[in-house]
Amino acid sequence: MKTILQLNTSILSTEGQSTRLANELVEQLAADAVIVRDLAREPVPHLDAERFGAFITPKEKRDDKQQQIVAYSDRLIDEIRRADTIVLGLPMYNFGVPSMLKAWFDHIARAGVTFRYTEKGPVGLLTGKKVYVVATRGGLYAGTRLDTQTDYVRDFLAFLGIADVEFVYAEGLAISEASKTASLAKARESLHNLVPAFA
């Protein structure tokens, strides 16, 4: 059974350009099941000392509050485990990834659960998954030093064992209406090339 996890990280939720493109891609991928996690509708809390403390406390020593915190993180991880394909809508905000995505990352990177340390360095435990990233930006950054997102997202996912990651960019969305229209059309074409069924 083919399962997709669609991760929407736009502050505009379903109105975001990244979400719209992600929706179209998910439709075309025609999965048996789609899990949608919308971080604008249900924000993941920032990682703090209490939450991290719960993660690293041995299971048998966790109090009720810590068990709840870990159960929440486990649910997020379970959604990725169940998915063979992940579609990530990724806007650029203030030169970086949405803080809500960072909070989600902070809840799924768990030593002994999604990665482990070995003598040869860290090993990711979330293997065999494909990720499509639909990156939307007001300006033009792809391939430049100011693209702070692509390497970061790739490195983070690789750390967890996910190396098969494809990016599609819709850039220049704030430059002009013409630029926006052309860029969205080009992004759709790129999605079409990634997924043959995409029309």
Ligand X SMILES: Cc1cc2nc3c(=O)[nH]c(=O)nc-3n(C[C@H](O)[C@H](O)[C@H](O)COP(=O)(O)O)c2cc1C
Chain positions contacting ligand X, by CB under 6 A:
10-12, 16-19, 89, 91-95, 136-139, 173-174
Separation of alpha carbons 138 and 193, rounded Å: 23
Please say which residue, 18 or 23, places its beta carbon nearer to ligand X: 18
Q: Supply the DSSP symbol for 59.
A: G
Indicate the residue among 16 and 85 with the shorter CB distance to ligand X.
16
In the complex, least distance from residue 4 CB atom to ligand X, rounded to whole angstroms = 18
Q: Which is nearer to ligand X, 80 or 91 (CB)?
A: 91
Provide, rounded to whole angstroms, the least separation between the CB of residue 111 and ligand X.
32
What's the min distance (Å) between Cβ of 85 and ligand X? 20
DSSP state of 98: -
Residues β-bridged to residue 5: 35, 86
Q: Cβ closer to ligand X: 33 or 174?
A: 174
CB of 8 to ligand X, least distance (A): 8
Query: CB of 93 within 8 A of CB of 9?
Result: no
Please report the beta strands in 92-163, taking only residues with DSSP state E, as ranges in sequence order: 115-118, 121-124, 130-136
Q: How many CB atoms neighbour CB 89 within 10 A?
A: 29
